[in-house]
Amino acid sequence: MLSLGRKHNRDRMTPLEAELAPRGRGVSRLHRQPVWRSAGRLADLPQWAGSAAALGFLTLTIGYGIVIGGHGRVVSDALLSAAGFGIEAVKLSGQREINEFQILEALEIHEGTSLALFDADGALERLNQMAWVKNASVMKFYPNTLQIKIEERVPYALWQRGDLVSIVNESGDVITDEVDGRYANLLLVVNHGAQRRAEEINSALEKVPALRPRVRAAFLVSDRRWDLQLENGISISLPQNNIDAALADLMKMDEESGLLARDIVAIDMRLGDRVTVRLSDEAAEQRKIMTGGRKRSGKKEQDT
């Protein structure tokens, strides 16, 4: 009876005892609800999932470090180059005055540079900033070829002002101040403004091909007319107008009397009705002795 009574009392707990009793007491573990329901889902993942997650995390960490360190472009270039998209050939055309090294230097192609990430616009801008380049084009041909076409400015004359000599185009625009022996055949025009009128004197000299190779320089005087300096030191003063006629007369006199080979220092053709020739000091002294100081006169005055 005692035992039954005790059992009866145990099954009928007082309200205080029920409140103090631990929750879940007497409930079978098989019927309890899992605290972390996701644990069951993780158990269904394949065995390699953990390794893949670790590898992915490592990859993201390395990628973040590369980007923060500023090496993203280098790594991307290397990967694309390894995949067959590296720049392996550069085809150049149109260049004459510019050497290939200067063009490649402007392109800024380094080892491992990929064609896909190559900055064609930046390269084009750098090419167009070169002194000799009039126009340029940069084209990509996948998977690994870069094509560069250059249109150069045409050297027309040399322009000297003071001690500075520049190469100019036909319009008188300066191309470069780097002048060497390759441009010795260009006409040298001297003084300010001469570069804009170089085409004028060049065209006149082209009409007297026998004289052009003998001209060392053309000086623009008072922005009005030209003086020619020949390679033998003779100075020729041309008129402001009718340059073609004056040069034609000069060459006719040279053919008839060998005027430009004489011992003279200057020929003045500014006056339309006469030509004045100034002898060298030695030639003048000898002439004075031979003529007794007499002078010759005429429409075409030549002190020879």
pLDDT one digit per residue (tens) for the chain, 304 residues: 333 344 444 455 555 455 544 555 554 555 555 544 555 555 565 665 555 655 554 455 445 444 454 444 566 656 655 666 678 899 999 999 999 999 999 999 887 788 878 889 999 999 999 999 999 999 999 888 999 999 999 999 999 999 999 999 999 999 999 999 999 999 999 999 999 999 999 999 999 999 999 999 999 999 999 999 999 999 999 999 999 999 999 999 999 999 999 889 999 999 988 899 998 777 666 666 666 655 554 444 444 3
Separation between Cα atoms, residue 230 and residue 212, nearest integer Å:
9
The CATH number of whichever domain residue 215 belongs to comes to 3.40.50.11690
Q: Judge if 162 and 138 occupy the same domain.
A: no
Q: Letter for the amino acid at 222?
A: S
- Which of 152, 179, 194 corresponds to the end of one domain? 152
Beta pairing class for 164-168 and 174-176: antiparallel
- Which of 152, 184, 216 corresponds to the end of one domain? 152
Q: Judge if 71 and 124 occupy the same domain.
A: yes
pLDDT digits (tens, 9 = 90+) for 49-97: 555 655 554 455 445 444 454 444 566 656 655 666 678 899 999 999 9
Provide the pLDDT for residue 210.
94
* Coil vs helix vs strand at 189: strand
Q: Judge if 219 and 266 occupy the same domain.
A: yes
Domain for residue 287, yes or no?
A: yes
At 186, give phi and psi (nearest 5°): -75, 145
What are the C-alpha distances in Å from 83 to residues 86, 87, 113, 116, 128? 8, 12, 12, 11, 32
Domain for residue 280, yes or no?
A: yes
Provide the pLDDT for residue 111.
79
> Per-residue DSSP letters for 13-60?
--HHHHHHSPTTTT--GGGPPPS-THHHHHTTS-TTHHHHHHHHHHHH
Q: Judge if 284 and 249 occupy the same domain.
A: yes
Q: Judge if 104 and 168 occupy the same domain.
A: no
Write out the residue range of the structural domain in which residue 179 sits.
157-291
Number of folded domains that form the chain: 2
* Coil vs helix vs strand at 220: strand
Domain for residue 32, yes or no?
A: no
Contacts of 16 (CB under 8 A, 6+ apart): none
Helix or strand run (H / E) with residue 4: helix 2-11
Q: Judge if 131 and 177 occupy the same domain.
A: no
- Which of 97, 131, 152 corresponds to the end of one domain? 152
